[in-house]
Structure formats: structure tokens, C-alpha cells
Amino acid sequence: MASNHKKLLFLTVSFCLLSVGLYLFLSLPEGKIIQSPYDGTMIILVTNNTQILDRTKFGTIRLRVQKMQNPLPITLLDTLTDASWRLSWSVQWLDNSHIKLKSSDVGSICWSEKENKKWVKADC
């Protein structure tokens, strides 16, 4: 009897923990995908940084520029910005080699692709 009680308690606790984890995962703010309008081969993936390892960057905008290739996309830029996810912001392609983040709290920040295929911050 005690063994069955322990199993039932274990299953109940496990189910509760799984349910809470699933709820937290599904309730995270969704990201935004912006496809390059020039040739459609790249996207900007804009998400809310929910990693708490660096508390100064929690809740900021994370940008990923990815080239869409089969079978998996190639990440060309993955950066955490200082712009707050909760304030007003927009991200746009300027061309296939330049993107711009406009935010009400930090202003405009641009990135550009260099000849060596590396993406770096650039003047807007």
C-alpha cells in the first residue's frame, strides 16, 4: 500500500511540475519574424530575452539574422540589444546587408554585413 501511495504522489507531483513548466513555456511572449523583402533568403527573428543569467539584459530585444537554407537556417547575427521588449520598437530591413532597430528607449541601432559575412553594429 505504501508503495502505491508513493507512486501516486510521485506521478501527481510530476504532472503538476510538467503542467506549470508547459504553462510558463507557452505563456512567453511570442517573437516576430521579418523576412527580407529584397530576395527573401534571410529573416530577422526578434524575441524577448527571457534568460535570467544576465539580469541587465532580461526583458530586452534579441535579434537573430538567419539565412534560410535547407535543412537548417544559418545564424549570421545573434545579439542582445539594450532596447526594452515592453516599450515601443520596430525592426526593419534597409537592404539585404543592413537592418535597423528603432526603440523608444535607446533610439536607433543599425547592423550591417561586412565582406567577411560578419554582422557588426554600424552607423544609422
Residue from 94, 92, 95, 36 nearest 68 by CA: 36
Q: Is 30 helix (H, G, I), strand (E, B) or coil?
A: coil
pLDDT in tens, 23-77: 444 444 578 999 999 888 999 999 999 888 888 889 999 999 999 988 888 999 9
Residue 22: pLDDT over 80: no
Is beta strand 74-84 parallel, antiparallel or unpaired with respect to 119-122?
unpaired
56 and 110 inside one domain:
yes
Quote the domain boundaries for residue 17: 1-29
What's the confidence (pLDDT) of residue 1? 58
69 and 113 inside one domain:
yes
What's the confidence (pLDDT) of residue 27? 44
What's the confidence (pLDDT) of residue 31? 86
25 and 36 inside one domain:
no
DSSP at 17: H
90 and 112 inside one domain:
yes
117 and 69 inside one domain:
yes
If one counts every other C-beta atom within 10 angstroms of the C-beta of residue 44, the result is 21
51 and 7 inside one domain:
no
What's the confidence (pLDDT) of residue 79? 95
8 and 62 inside one domain:
no
116 and 83 inside one domain:
yes
If one counts every other C-beta atom within 10 angstroms of the C-beta of residue 106, the result is 16
| Portion of the chain with pLDDT greater than 70, in percent | 77
Q: In this structure, are residues 11 and 17 in contact, taking their beta carbons and an 8 Å threshold?
A: no
Task: Look at the chain and report how many structural domains it folds into.
Answer: 2
Q: What is the 3-state secondary structure (H, E, C) of 38-74?
A: CCCCEEEEEEECCCCCCCCCCCEEEEEEEECCCCCCE
42 and 13 inside one domain:
no
Instruction: Give the confidence band of 91 by pLDDT, cuts at 50, 70, 90.
Output: very high
